[in-house]
Every structure is written in structure tokens, then in C-alpha cells.
Amino acid sequence: MRCPYCGSTNTQVKDSRPSEDHSTIRRRRVCADCGGRFTTFERVQLRELTVIKRSGRRMPFDRDKLMRSIQIALRKRPADPERVERMVSGIVRRLENTGENDIKSETIGRLVMEALKSLDDVAYVRFASVYKNFREAKDFEILLGELAATDEDEDGPRSKAAAPAED
């Protein structure tokens, strides 16, 4: 494994341990040339996935990239890292189990939204606003309205959108 600091391949594993659910092996490594320390993760990969972007561009599926976009949505939110890790693993397993090697980016976005919705409302709204490419405040209002409706139905409708006008 190449050192991320100096590029040397002269690195050694100092410590290996499985994650709590034994789905990952975490290895602490040290670079013999610059002394830099870093961690690598070893995981099962059932198949090679390709993401098809909205533009039609194809790119290899990247779990770390998925994790980063989720962490951006979860920024400063109280979320247990182990739970987030499990959530990402669950999303990846579901993608692998679709039986397709080509996955539309919309499919990934939809799975992330489903998962975040049960984890953290704020992160869900943040992610959705990027994923759905919100441009106007009313897009947020619609989404927040949906959240409120699933959280507390007893409040009743807060606004009557698109009520027919009387002459």
C-alpha cells in the first residue's frame, strides 16, 4: 500500500482489527520512509458496479465518494459513525444485489434519501436539496411539508396549496 504522504511503497501494517459487525478489517499502517500513519479498510466486494450519471457518463462506483456525500449531509449532526458505516454498507449491498452492474445515479440517490430519512431529518433535507437540485424556496417547503406529514399527522394540513379559486 502506497503512503499517501510521500508516495513510498515501503509501508507496514501495525495493527489489524475487525469492525464491530465484522464486515470490515481496519488496518493501521505506518510508512517506513516518512513515518506517516494512515488507516486502510478491507471489505467484501461482490461485484464491480458502474454508475451512469444523468449526463450518460459512466464511472466506476466509489464507496468512499458515497460516504463523503453522506458525511457532508451529516455535517455537525449527531450521528453514530458505526451506524453511518452500516448504513453505507447496506446501501452498497442493495446496489450489488440488484443484479445489474450498471447503476443509475438516481437509484443511488434514492437509496441514500431513504436511509437518511430514518437517520436524521436535517441530513435528509440537505442531501435531498443537492440531489434534487433545488433552486427555489418552495422546493424546500414541499419537502419539509412531507417530513412534517410523516412525523405528525394529527396537525392536519398547514396550507391549502393549489386550492381552486372561487369566482
Residues near Zn ion (CB under 5 A) are 3, 5-6, 8, 31, 33-34, 36
Q: How far is the CB of 141 from Zn ion (least distance, A)?
A: 51
Of the two residues 3 and 87, which places its CB atom closer to Zn ion in the complex? 3
Q: How far is the CB of 41 from Zn ion (least distance, A)?
A: 19
Q: How far is the CB of 42 from Zn ion (least distance, A)?
A: 20
Three-state helix/strand/coil letters over 21-65? CCCEEEEEEEECCCCCEEEEEEECCCCCCEEECCCCCEEECCHHH
How far apart are alpha carbons 164 and 167 in whole angstroms?
A: 9
Do 81 and 134 contact (CB within 8 A), yes or no? no
Half-sphere exposure of 94 (CA within 13 A, CB side): 14
Of the two residues 8 and 16, which places its CB atom closer to Zn ion in the complex? 8
Q: How far is the CB of 62 from Zn ion (least distance, A)?
A: 24
Of the two residues 31 and 87, which places its CB atom closer to Zn ion in the complex? 31
Secondary structure element (H or E) that encloses residue 102, with its range: strand 102-104
Of the two residues 3 and 95, which places its CB atom closer to Zn ion in the complex? 3
